[in-house]
Amino acid sequence: MKKLTLQQLAELAGVGVATVDRVLNDRGGVSPATTRKVLQAAREAGLQRPLPEAYRHPWQIEVFLSGNPSFFFDTLANDFSAVASQLGYRRLTLHRTYIAESQPEKLAQRMMAACGRRDGIIVFGHDYPAIHEALTHCRAQGVPVITLATDIPQAQRLCHVGIDQYQAGKTAGLLMSKSLHEAGEVIMLSGRIDYRAHRQRIDGFRETMAKRAPHIELREVLSGQDQREIIRTLFDQALRKAHHISGIYNTGVGNSEIKALLQRHKLRCSVITHELYSVTREMLDTDMISYTLDQNAPAHARLALDLLLRHLEVGYQPDLYQDGRVGLKIITAENME
C-alpha cells in the first residue's frame, strides 16, 4: 500500500491539510467534531501510525442545581464532584451553579450564557416557559442538555435522568395501604404543589390509596411551600382537627417538624417520607417512620455524566427516559446502610 499523504487524508476527511496536521500531531485548536472526523478517516484509510486520542481537551460541563436548602441536592452536588474526580481532570472539567428554584428566569439566563463556553449542561429546573426557551436555545447552539430529577415534558433536552416520580407516589400508596387495615385518616404534606415532582408523587399516592385502601380518608393536601414554619403551622392545625390519624405521607422537606409535632401530640401512626439522611435515619431507628423512599443521588450523578460524555465522545443518542431511569430505593429500619 502506498503511503497515505496528508493531502489525501485531508480530501477524505473534507478538511484542510493544516487541520489534518494539527489533529495527527495533537496540537489542539480543532473542534471535537472535526477531530473525530479526521481520525475516523485515518482509521478507515488504514493509516499506519499511532493516532492521538479523539479529544484531549477536557469537556466543559456545567451542572445547575437547586440553591434551596435540601439534603438531596447537597448530596447530589458532592456526588457529581466525586464522579468527576474518578473520571479524571483530563476527561472533563465540572462546573457547579446553584440557583433558587423560585428564580426560573435567572436559571434560563445562566443556561443560555453557558452555551457559549460549555460542551454540555445538566440541569435541575421546573416546567416554566423561560426554561423551555433556554433549552430550545441550547439545542439550537448544539449544546446537549440533560434534565435531572424532575422532568420538563416536551422540552428540547437530550434525555431525562431520575426516578419516576409518579411511580414513587404509587409506591408510597401501596406501602401505606398495606400498613393500614382499619378506617382512619391520612394526612398528605407536599413541597411546592406547583412543582411537577411533588404533584406527581401526590397523584400517584392518591390513585393507589383510592384503589387499595378505600376505607382510608385522605385529608386535603398541606402545601408547605418548602417553608418549615408553614409546614409546622399547617401540620399542627391538621393534627388538632383530625379524629383518627392512621398515616402521614410527606413528599418533601419538613421531617424534623413532623417528628417534633408527633412527639408533642403523643401520636404513633404509619409515616412514609422521602430521602435517607440523619433525621429520617433517626426516625426509622425509633419507629417514627415506616419507610423512606430514597432517590439514590449517587446514581443520578453517575448516570447523567455517563450519558452526556457518551453523547459528546461517540455521538450516542440516549432514549429520552429509559436510558436515564434511576431505580427508587425503599428503605426500612432493617436495610439502612
Residue 248 backbone phi and psi in degrees, to 5 = -135, 130
Reported as a pLDDT band with limits 50, 70 and 90, residue 1 is very low
Last residue of a domain, one of 29, 57, 85: 57
Is the same domain home to 65 and 100? yes
Reported as a pLDDT band with limits 50, 70 and 90, residue 167 is very high
User: Is 337 part of a structural domain of the chain?
Assistant: no
Is the same domain home to 138 and 123? yes
* pLDDT(164) > 90: yes
pLDDT tens-digit map of 123-163: 999 999 999 999 999 999 999 999 999 999 999 999 999 99
User: What would the mean pLDDT of 81-90 be, rounded to a whole number?
Assistant: 87
Is the same domain home to 228 and 126? no
User: Is 316 part of a structural domain of the chain?
Assistant: yes
Is the same domain home to 199 and 257? yes
Last residue of a domain, one of 42, 57, 72: 57
Is the same domain home to 284 and 308? no
Q: How many domains does the chain have?
A: 3
Range of the domain at 93: 59-162+297-326
Is the same domain home to 170 and 266? yes
User: Is 136 part of a structural domain of the chain?
Assistant: yes
User: What would the mean pLDDT of 44-63 be, rounded to a whole number?
Assistant: 78
User: What would the mean pLDDT of 27-31 be, rounded to a whole number?
Assistant: 66
CATH number at residue 144: 3.40.50.2300
pLDDT tens-digit map of 187-231: 999 988 889 999 999 999 999 999 999 999 999 999 998 899 999
* pLDDT(243) > 90: no
Cβ atoms < 10 Å from Cβ of 67: 16
> What are the C-alpha distances in Å from 272 to residues 72, 133, 193, 210, 280?
17, 37, 18, 17, 10
Least confidently predicted of 10-14, 200-204, 244-248:
10-14
pLDDT of residue 95: 96
Is the same domain home to 144 and 64? yes
User: Is 333 part of a structural domain of the chain?
Assistant: no
Percent of the chain, pLDDT > 70? Answer: 96
pLDDT of residue 2: 59
One-letter amino acid for residue 138 of the chain: C
pLDDT of residue 19: 87
CA–chain centroid gap for 110, Å, is 18
Alpha helices in the chain (DSSP H): 6-13, 17-24, 32-44, 71-87, 104-114, 129-140, 165-179, 196-212, 228-241, 255-264, 278-285, 297-314
User: Is 331 part of a structural domain of the chain?
Assistant: no
Q: Which residues contact 140 (CB under 8 A, 6 or more apart)?
A: none
User: Is 225 part of a structural domain of the chain?
Assistant: yes
